[in-house]
Chain A
Amino acid sequence: MPRFYHDDPAWSDVTPIPQLESGQVLAGISYTAEYSEAMSYLRAVMAANEYSTRVLDLTEHIISLNPAHYTVWLYRAQTLSALNRNLREEIKWLNPTALKHLKNYQIWHHRQTIIDRLGSCDGEQEFVEQMLEKDAKNYHVWSYRQWVVRRFGLFGDEGERKWCEGMMERDVRNNSVWNHRFFVVFGGLKGEVEEGLLKRELEYAQDAVRKAPQNECPWNYIRGVLRQAKKPMSTVKEFAKEFADLEKPDEVRSTHALDLLADIYEEEKKNDEAKTALDLLANKYDPIRAKYWEYRARSLDSAAVEA
Chain B
Amino acid sequence: MAPDAEESGILKISKHVSYWRRNLKTYLPHHYTGTDSNRMLLAFFILSALDLLGDLDAALTDEERHEYVEWVYNCQIPDGGFRPSPGTYVGTARNQQNAVWDPAHIPGTFFSLLVLVLLGDDLKRVKRKETLIWLNRMQRPDGSFGETIGQAGRVEGGNDTRFGYMATGIRWILRGDIEGHVDDVPDIDVDKFVQCVRDSETYDGGISEAPFHEAHAGFACCAVSALALLDRLPVQTSQQKDQRLRGITDLPSTLHWLVSRQTLTLEEGEEDEGEQNGDANPSKGAQSQQDLSMVGMNGRCNKIADTCYAYWVCAPLDVLGHLHLVDTQRIRLWLLDMTQHFIGGFGKLPGDPPDIYHSYLGLFTLAMFGEPRLKEADAALCISKAAKERIESLPWRKAIVEQKI
Contact = CB atoms under 8 A, between A and B. Distances in A.
B202 interface: yes
Contacts of A176: 214, 300
B98 A47 contact: yes
B123 to A, nearest CB: 17
Interface residues of B, number: 88
Nearest to B67: A24
Interface in B116-161: 147-148, 150-151, 156-158
Given A23-B70, A49-B97, A227 B203 contact: yes
A46 B88 CA distance: 9
A290 B324 CA distance: 11
Interface stretch (B35-43, B181-189, B380-388, B393-401): B35-43
Contacts of B209: 143
Contacts of A254: 280, 282
Contacts of A179: 202, 212-215
A35 interface: yes
B130 to A, nearest CB: 21
Contacts, number: 239
Contact of A28 (B27, B70, B281): B27
Contacts of B302: 173-175, 215-217
Given A20-B91, A227-B203, A289-B259, A70 B282 contact: no
A262 B270 CA distance: 29
B68 interface: yes
Give the interface centre of B87, B158, B274, B275 by most chain A CB atoms within 10 Å.
B87
Give the interface centre of A24, A225, A255 by most chain B CB atoms within 10 Å.
A24
Interface in B207-231: 209-216
B241 interface: no
Given A65-B33, A143-B210, A21 B86 contact: yes
Nearest to A105: B158
B90 A47 contact: yes
A213 interface: yes
Contact of A137 (B98, B292, B300): B300
Interface in B10-60: 23-24, 27-30, 32-40, 42-43, 46-47
Interface string A165-188: 000000101111001101100110
Interface string A38-78: 01000110111100000000000000011111110011001
Contact of A285 (B205, B213, B287, B327): B287
Given A29-B27, A175-B300, 4 more contacts: A17-B93, A47-B101, A210-B278, A211-B278
Interface of A: 17, 19-21, 23-32, 35, 39, 43-44, 46-49, 65-71, 74-75, 78, 105, 109, 137, 139, 142-143, 146, 171, 173-176, 179-180, 182-183, 186-187, 210-217, 220-221, 223-225, 227-228, 250, 252-255, 284-292, 295
19 contacts: A23-B67, A43-B90, A65-B33, A70-B147, A71-B101, A74-B101, A109-B156, A137-B303, A142-B213, A143-B210, A173-B275, A173-B302, A175-B301, A179-B202, A179-B215, A224-B204, A253-B282, A285-B282, A292-B259
Closest 3 CB pairs of A and B: A224-B203, A214-B280, A26-B43
